[in-house]
Amino acid sequence: MSEAVRVITERVRVRVRQEGLDLADDGRLANQYVGDEVRRYSERALGGAVPMLDDERAATQEVIACLTGFGVLQPFLDDPGIEEIWINSPTRIFVARSGVAELTPLVMTEQSVRDVVERMLQASGRRIDFSSPFVDASLPDGSRLHAVIPDITRRYWSVNIRKFTRRIRDLHRLVERDSLTLQAAEFLRMCVWAGQNILVSGATQTGKTTLLGALLSSSRSAERIVTVEETFELDVSARDVVAMQCRQPSLEGTGEITLRRLIKEALRMRPDRIVVGEVREAESLDLLIALNSGLPGMCSIHANSARDALVKLSTLPLLAGPNIDAAFVLPTVAGCIDIVVHCELNRRGHRRVSEILAPSGQLNGAAVDASPLFVVIDGVLQPTGAFPSKMSKFAAAGLDPAVVLRSSD
């Protein structure tokens, strides 16, 4: 921030405090107040009292961003081509475009980094301090904020802001972006209609959340969907949807709401489909119990492949306690999970579905038996010729996946 912008920003803040206003809720008033102060500053600059502004319009936008948005980071948040922003230090600020990272020329101060994070947390009700050095929160536009402070980090605040595209709202858009073939999209749509339990796997930033949202857009209009997440990320446009997120403990260590609690509460809300944004720990047990009750569901999980996702889902429930046995978990995973969809991000930044797997419902030794339905061959997602072993849900919905799996693009 230049000295001129700092001076103008402070003068607007003084005026706002004196008049008891909140510019964040009134964009028209913010533009008026900032425009007034920019003109006054330029008049003083013409008289030689202060340095001239290089670009009045750019200065106006920067001041407005500082007052009503998130300061110098606001242009990155407004840029639809940027997927993620992260700050390693005040002088090392990166963005990702189409999956590719780039170092920006932006330079902040330590105080300005702290200020912008605190401003981002205001609407969430969450906090970051010595007693709670990590924070996950949703921004008003749906982006996800993650921040860590010293002495957990070596010296500087570490900040990640992950944006979620609103341009991809259904499977058709994924087909248009070459992330999915039409044949695979039609099969997945049929799986959603049939109430199949779908596990979406992949590494970080491979598009798992986006795919979950696209799958949910195929749900029947009469379905009641309940989503549970650590922080709000899913953007579901269904007619009847309830979204819940976790809550951090208070300063007294009370009031924490975990994913496990949310899954249990979701079952009391008459859901037709339950969605867990991501399973990482013992909440996987509660999800499996919910799915084992006949309730259709979806979730995502970090894994290197579709088969690794099944292995991980068979292991995580053991974290719930010493009384949880693999003899219960393995057959439950085999019986509950109907489809595994694996996503990947290649070196060119292109996201795509690389594998669709169908568990048979049986165990193969100490592993869940599954057959690949779609795999990447010569760079294209193609059907293998296999068919799902578990057909009862398809039959109950009056659907035949063979109609799609036997067709060709």
Burial 194-221 (b: 16+ CB within 10 A, else e): bbbbbbbbbeebbbbbbbbbbbbbbbee
The pair of structure tokens assigned to 69 is 């948005």
| CATH code at position 287 | 3.40.50.300
Please tell me the predicted confidence (pLDDT) of residue 205.
Answer: 87
Amino acid at 324: I
Amino acid at 289: I
Q: Are residues 63 and 74 in the same domain?
A: no
Give me the number of domains the chain comprises.
3
Q: Are residues 260 and 363 in the same domain?
A: yes
Q: Are residues 74 and 55 in the same domain?
A: no
The set of residues, in sequence order, having a beta carbon less than 8 Å from that of 239 and lying 6+ positions away, is 221, 222
Q: Are residues 364 and 226 in the same domain?
A: yes
Q: Are residues 145 and 191 in the same domain?
A: no
Please tell me the predicted confidence (pLDDT) of residue 65.
Answer: 74
Q: Are residues 220 and 292 in the same domain?
A: yes
The pTM (predicted TM-score) of the whole model is 0.80
Look at the block and give the residue holding tokens 């996950």.
136
Q: Which CA distances in Å does 242 have to 74, 196, 236, 275, 397?
A: 29, 20, 9, 10, 25
The pair of structure tokens assigned to 38 is 């920019």
Among residues 300, 299, 242, the alpha carbon closest in space to that of 271 is found at 242
The set of residues, in sequence order, having a beta carbon less than 8 Å from that of 34 and lying 6+ positions away, is 8, 12, 60, 63, 64, 67
Q: Are residues 22 and 138 in the same domain?
A: no
Q: Are residues 102 and 211 in the same domain?
A: no
Domain enclosing residue 241, as ranges: 171-405
ω before 409 within 30° of 0 (cis)? Answer: no
Is 395 within 8 Å of 190 (Cβ atoms)?
Answer: no
Q: Are residues 225 and 284 in the same domain?
A: yes
pLDDT along the chain (409 residues), means of 10: 80 80 71 87 84 83 77 86 94 92 94 89 82 88 90 95 79 94 97 97 93 94 94 86 89 86 94 95 94 93 97 95 91 96 91 96 93 94 95 95 79
| CATH code at position 144 | 3.30.450.90
CA atoms within 13 A on the CB side of 111: 1
Q: Are residues 30 and 80 in the same domain?
A: no
**CA 151 centroid distance within chain:** 27
Q: Which CA distances in Å does 261 have to 139, 155, 247, 376, 396?
A: 23, 35, 11, 38, 32
